[in-house]
Chains A and B, each alone.
Chain A
Amino acid sequence: MSASLLLALPELILSIGAILLMLAAAWGGDGSSRGITLAAVALLVVAGAVALIAPGGHGDGFGGLYRADAFSDFAKLLIYAATAVALLIAPNYFERNGEMRAEYPVLILFSAVGMGMMVSALDLLTLYVGLELQSLAAYVLASFTRRDTRAAEAGLKYFVLGALASGILLYGISLLYGFSGTTSYGGVAQAMGGEFSAGLLFGIVFVLAGLAFKISAVPFHMWTPDVYEGAPTPVTAFFASAPKVAAMGLLVRVAVEAMGPAYDAWRQIIIFTALASIVLGAVAAIGQTSMKRLLAYSSINNVGFALIGLAAGTEAGVAATMTYMAVYIVMTLGAFLCILQMRDADGNLREGIADLSGLARTRPMLAGALMMFMFSLAGIPPLFGFWPKFLVFDAATRAGLFPLAVAGAVGSVVGAYYYLKIVKTMYFDEPAPAFAPSESPLEGGLIAVTAALISPFGYLAIPVLGGISLAAAHALF
């Protein structure tokens, strides 16, 4: 048992820390929220370090319910890093309206625990518990600004649709259990390797549908734009980054470890979802006028590309998907950090694309950074966002999926159009009223760091990033 506890040390640290912080929040009140936020960031750093060092080594724990391996380590590092950024940007945002409350960091921490369990789950039940822990915290976070009707709407929509997706997922799990007699990934895989029954196929379809909701892949993406738009911006930044990595990690592990023998059955589902996400994410984004909605479609679009790696079904493909998620969270967090700077002279937040008009003249550095994020999300070299696209196309061609690679490539041209539109607004149009100057060196610093990571210098990180991703993928095969 103690070995199991040691394996799950990152989750333990975060859980106990979150409970203690909740007590501190209850006693300290909202005045202590800044301190609690910093403590939560510190906890995430410690948990990340523990995941990196892995004092308990790698292996299965809790009777085969939980696994710590290179894959979970990599995913957790990404999750914790993105979560920490979402925490750091929160106080400045909420304090302006006097809405910073001490439960925010606590909720985020619980969500992080759930995400850690998602990527470490080795059993359909652990999967479900992790997913629900993450989701329940997220529903509350979406409507964190209680007085804002848009946020309340976002939270409610997220909850209703999320509950529906959980139901679908649970139904799929029950089918898999019914037809294989076990909930462990290994057992399910064994059953699929044998006689492949219609019940198992239905189970796969329902499980994938439920998970597609979590990664906001088409056709289960409808909630994304509304929730992204309504939720407070730091929360949106969080939704767009850490839970995406967790859900993608979960999907990859389930697909490879539990459904591996049924690759032919789920490959076509993944291919369809990937292409549909790429196309819809690109086409529907064109008419958007809000930056947050636009980034919601952008995340749908990018998830589609990441799924191409999974569709290849190879080690290289999974590694490409993980690299994709790593680069994607940097780009998307950077873009949201830029959106947080969009405050007019009275300090009100602006979210319209039109508000960015002529930003290159009023705030050249900010415009430069946002331009880099946009071109990077579009996958234009020499920015680093090109590299993960390159890897997923590479994996697809190696697996012989040429039509998929070509269709994805053509889709990326359609997608480039709306990223270009942002750059056009910032650089070609006449200036709109200037935004208030940034007061937060922290946010400026984070923008600079994320911009540096996706600049051409990012290519120097390929050997390291590629090595970690391959090791992570290798752990699954």
Chain B
Amino acid sequence: MSFPILSLLLAVPVLGAIACLFVDDATARRVALITTLVDLALGVVLWVGYDPAGAQWQFVENAPVFGRFAWALGIDGIAMLLIVLTVFLMPICILASWESITKRVPEYMACFLVMETLLLGVFMAQDIFLFYLFFEAGLIPMYLIIGIWGGARRIYASYKFFLYTLLGSILMLIAMLWMVNEAGTTYVPELMAHDFPVHAQTWLFLAFFASFAVKMPMWPVHTWLPDAHVEAPTAGSVILAGVMLKLAGYGFIRYSLPMFPEASSQFFWLVMGLSMIAVVYTSLVALVQTDMKKLIAYSSVAHMAFVTIGLFTFNRQGLEGAMMVMLGHGLVSGALFLCVGVVYDRLHTREIARYGGLVENMPKYAFFFLLFTMASVGLPGTSNFVGEFLSLLGAYHANSWVAFVATTGVILGATYALYLYARVVYGPLDKPDVAAMLDLSPREVAMLLPIGIIVIWMGVYPESFIAPMRADVGRVIARIERAAPPSDARPTAGHPAPAGHAANNVAAHGEAH
């Protein structure tokens, strides 16, 4: 057996968390930062070591230590990218909490590190029950993070978050029990290849959907998200938007689609309908928010609707687009929450109307905020453009009405994002306390700069991110295309010129330049 790098990735944060509990505040911060940086380094090793042309499952570990289920880990390209996203955002979260968290620092850092392990575990688990353990266990640290370090209505938000998501996932557990009983295995790759009876798929899909729709979150079960975001500390919001929302997208692509292809097709309009409503409705809700964090939270719901639209198009563009939106949104919404955190740390309000004219006294901040706002809008050259474009392309292929409604979301997205930026950064700098705010500190630049670089990298050369998942998306497509819902696109055959002639044409065209 090769070196168990995945187990190591999971063990490092747990050890760091235990160490944090026994030291003072300043040391706890340093321990947490070092731990997350070690995990980031391991994540880079993972990316470099991952062979896109190799086996579907790599770095596989399997130890049947639990009797009824196994410590089975392994990743494909899809999981690898989400793992790298997680380990990349974690040190940034720790940095974001460096000065703003002053009470109960060791516990805070421990919660975050445990959270990291659980999130990574979800992406790595190859045993369906191990997946469930990690998936559910994330509730406990997040409950504490929101409840202890949150804002005014933290207690209400923490309860809502916990009970909502628990109710969603407990039905999934019952479905898993049935599936394991039926298929006789808990090993995810085998379950992905198992053909469940079509009538059972309906119920199984709905049970999984109950869980993933809440986690995603999809309209109308999204209401926990704005509350949780507004009350969570900045870093909590970053991890919530950046990684936790991706658990559901990952769940759809790993479980719902390959395990229940027929049911996924059957519920095409349910998913698309909810997503279309989400795109338009939550964008409009975002437009009228007066609280910056709430605005970004609603925009997350709208962006995640692009993910569900892409996933259920049943074609390659859609799936790859959904993955790119997940990665891009993880970075961009995380960065936007960080931007809000920067001004919140200075003025302790998230009221949009309290700000204005920041470009005068905080030019560096204005630059980064503009970059991430543009990325959120989906400006070509940034990460979200690639994802949204591919999603919409896939949606158009699946159903042109879906594409039509979803595209209005892009326009609405531009409206609320630019409107937010204009109100905060432009306008007169007429408030004395706002004028007294200092520009970004080196620590804050160190948080935002890496995200900015990667956002542009993803926009300019997305191949680096699409290549590792290409083969795996292909495998999902191969599994589900037999059930693809009928498309309303009616492509007609063109009249291609003879092959030789076309080649000449291109060559001539090339010469002409």
Please give the residue numbers on chain A whose beta carbons come within 8 Å of chain B beta carbons, in ascending order: 360-361, 364, 375, 380-382, 386, 390, 393-394, 397-398, 402, 405-406, 409-410, 412-413, 416-417, 420, 423-424, 427-428, 459-460, 462-463, 466-467
The reply to whether A380 and B178 contact each other, CB–CB distance below 8 Å, is: no
Residues 201-227 of B contacting A (Cβ, < 8 Å):
none
B143 at interface (Cβ–Cβ under 8 A)? Answer: yes
The reply to whether A409 and B163 contact each other, CB–CB distance below 8 Å, is: no
| Neighbour of A409 across the interface among B65, B144, B173, CB < 8 A | B173
Which B residues lie within 8 Å of A360 (CB)? Answer: 104, 107
CB proximity of A357 to chain B, nearest CB, Å: 13
B50 at interface (Cβ–Cβ under 8 A)? Answer: no
| Neighbour of A390 across the interface among B65, B173, B178, CB < 8 A | B173
Chain A residue, CB-CB nearest to B159: A420
- Give bound CA distance, A446 to B67, whole Å: 27
- Give bound CA distance, A393 to B129, whole Å: 13
B466 at interface (Cβ–Cβ under 8 A)? Answer: no
Given contacts A394-B177, A413-B170, A463-B66, 4 further A-B contacts (CB under 8 A): A381-B136, A382-B134, A397-B178, A420-B162
B435 at interface (Cβ–Cβ under 8 A)? Answer: no
The reply to whether B177 and A405 contact each other, CB–CB distance below 8 Å, is: yes
0/1 string, B141-177, CB within 8 A of A gives 1: 0011001100000110011001100110011011001
Which B residues lie within 8 Å of A381 (CB)? Answer: 132-133, 136-137
Please give the residue numbers on chain B whose beta carbons come within 8 Å of chain A beta carbons, in ascending order: 21, 65-68, 104, 107, 118, 129, 132-134, 136-137, 139-140, 143-144, 147-148, 154-155, 158-159, 162-163, 166-167, 170-171, 173-174, 177-178, 181
Which A residues lie within 8 Å of B148 (CB)? Answer: 427-428
Chain B residue, CB-CB nearest to A428: B147
Chain B residue, CB-CB nearest to A375: B140
| Neighbour of A386 across the interface among B21, B133, B134, B155, CB < 8 A | B133
| Neighbour of A428 across the interface among B21, B132, B155, B174, CB < 8 A | B155
CB proximity of A157 to chain B, nearest CB, Å: 34
The reply to whether B154 and A428 contact each other, CB–CB distance below 8 Å, is: yes
- Give bound CA distance, A412 to B163, whole Å: 10
The reply to whether A405 and B137 contact each other, CB–CB distance below 8 Å, is: no
CB proximity of A72 to chain B, nearest CB, Å: 24
> With A428-B147, A460-B66, A466-B68 in contact, is A413–B163 under 8 Å at CB?
yes
Pairs A–B under 8 Å by Cβ, sample size 26: A375-B140, A380-B139, A380-B140, A380-B166, A381-B132, A381-B136, A382-B118, A386-B136, A390-B129, A390-B177, A397-B174, A397-B178, A398-B181, A406-B171, A410-B170, A412-B170, A416-B166, A420-B159, A427-B148, A428-B155, A460-B65, A460-B66, A462-B66, A462-B67, A463-B66, A466-B67
- Give bound CA distance, A222 to B167, whole Å: 29
- Give bound CA distance, A467 to B134, whole Å: 25
- Give bound CA distance, A270 to B129, whole Å: 28
**10 smallest beta-carbon distances between A and B, as pairs:** A463-B67, A382-B137, A409-B170, A462-B67, A381-B133, A397-B177, A428-B147, A413-B167, A381-B136, A462-B66
CB proximity of A404 to chain B, nearest CB, Å: 10
- Give bound CA distance, A413 to B136, whole Å: 13
- Give bound CA distance, A397 to B166, whole Å: 20
The reply to whether A413 and B158 contact each other, CB–CB distance below 8 Å, is: no
The reply to whether A427 and B162 contact each other, CB–CB distance below 8 Å, is: no
Which B residues lie within 8 Å of A364 (CB)? Answer: 21, 107
Which A residues lie within 8 Å of B174 (CB)? Answer: 393, 397, 402, 405-406, 409
The reply to whether A361 and B133 contact each other, CB–CB distance below 8 Å, is: no
- Give bound CA distance, A463 to B155, whole Å: 39
| Neighbour of B155 across the interface among A382, A394, A416, A424, CB < 8 A | A424
Which A residues lie within 8 Å of B134 (CB)? Answer: 382
CB proximity of B103 to chain A, nearest CB, Å: 9
CB proximity of B104 to chain A, nearest CB, Å: 7
Chain A residue, CB-CB nearest to B139: A380
The reply to whether B159 and A417 contact each other, CB–CB distance below 8 Å, is: yes
- Give bound CA distance, A380 to B167, whole Å: 12
Chain B residue, CB-CB nearest to A465: B67
Chain B residue, CB-CB nearest to A417: B163
The reply to whether A427 and B65 contact each other, CB–CB distance below 8 Å, is: no
> With A375-B140, A380-B136, A381-B137 in contact, is A413–B166 under 8 Å at CB?
yes
- Give bound CA distance, A375 to B144, whole Å: 12
Chain A residue, CB-CB nearest to B179: A397
> With A402-B174, A427-B148 in contact, is A410–B137 under 8 Å at CB?
no
CB proximity of A427 to chain B, nearest CB, Å: 6
Which A residues lie within 8 Å of B67 (CB)? Answer: 462-463, 466-467
Which A residues lie within 8 Å of B181 (CB)? Answer: 394, 397-398
Which B residues lie within 8 Å of A462 (CB)? Answer: 66-68
Which A residues lie within 8 Å of B136 (CB)? Answer: 380-381, 386
The reply to whether A416 and B133 contact each other, CB–CB distance below 8 Å, is: no
- Give bound CA distance, A433 to B15, whole Å: 33
Which B residues lie within 8 Å of A361 (CB)? Answer: 104
Chain B residue, CB-CB nearest to A406: B174
Which B residues lie within 8 Å of A406 (CB)? Answer: 171, 174
- Give bound CA distance, A463 to B70, whole Å: 11
Which B residues lie within 8 Å of A420 (CB)? Answer: 143, 159, 162-163
